[in-house]
Chain A
Amino acid sequence: ILNVEQSPQSLHVQEGDSTNFTCSFPSSNFYALHWYRWETAKSPEALFVMTLNGDEKKKGRISATLNTKEGYSYLYIKGSQPEDSATYLCALMRGDDKIIFGKGTRLHILP
């Protein structure tokens, strides 16, 4: 069974602290990994598309790394702000064009 796992499921972080969470996926038939920022009842916002083993991407205070051989990606947020509160979703795109979503990590920033 093909599964994209995200951990932790939920995370509470003090404002100003840095944090990271994980997306794990089967490494066979890998094509790309997407990270999305998703607020409830809104459309997901694309953060990163990662394709190559060892990829590191950065957007402001948010960055991500990719290890396709061991099947994981980390998302890092530096100096968390209240507006970072959201669900962070990763999605695996396979070589056969199927897209598998993880269940997301819900991030809560505490004032």
Chain B
Amino acid sequence: AAGVIQSPRHLIKEKRETATLKCYPIPRHDTVYWYQQGPGQDPQFLISFYEKMQSDKGSIPDRFSAQQFSDYHSELNMSSLELGDSALYFCASSLAGNYGYTFGSGTRLTVV
């Protein structure tokens, strides 16, 4: 069965650079969520989209932005990267009105 696809799996960037993470939800899922998990930390919700519109916003820094496209994939854009942005970034997708959601395998971002 198709899962949530995230790309790239690993990314190394230098401070002040920009990064773009991509998330491809399960087919027919209309909602995408982004999470950040720093080393040894709890996962933190960043932002979510439903039907290409932002539906909820968590602890997402102003340097980050995200959007959901017409094919329901989502991109998380991160600018002016800081060392503290090094983390595992998960996305999850769901079908609104349904139960549960499926996580991708994550993108590990390392800022050096």
Contacts and interface: CB of A to CB of B under 8 A. Distances in A.
Interface size class of A (residues with CB under 8 A): 20 to 34
Interface string A67-111: 000000000000000000001010001000111010110000000
A41 B89 CA distance: 9
Contact of A87 (B42, B56, B96): B42
Nearest to A9: B42
Contacts, number: 45
Contacts of B106: 41-43
Question: Which residue of B45, B50, B97 has the most chain A CB atoms within 10 A of its CB atom?
Answer: B45
Contact of B99 (A38, A41, A51, A101): A51
B34 interface: no
Interface residues of B, number: 24
Contacts of A40: 37, 40
Nearest to B35: A101
A98 B33 CA distance: 10
Contacts of B40: 40
B20 to A, nearest CB: 20
Contacts of A89: 43
Most buried by A among B43, B48, B56: B43
Contacts of B33: 99
Contacts of B45: 99, 101
Interface in B62-111: 88, 90, 96-97, 99-106, 108
A43 B40 CA distance: 14
Nearest to B94: A99
B55 interface: yes
A41 B100 contact: no
10 contacts: A38-B43, A41-B37, A41-B88, A44-B103, A46-B100, A93-B99, A99-B33, A99-B56, A104-B42, A104-B43
What 5 A-B pairs have minimum CB-CB distances, sorted nearest first?
A43-B103, A49-B99, A49-B100, A103-B42, A44-B103
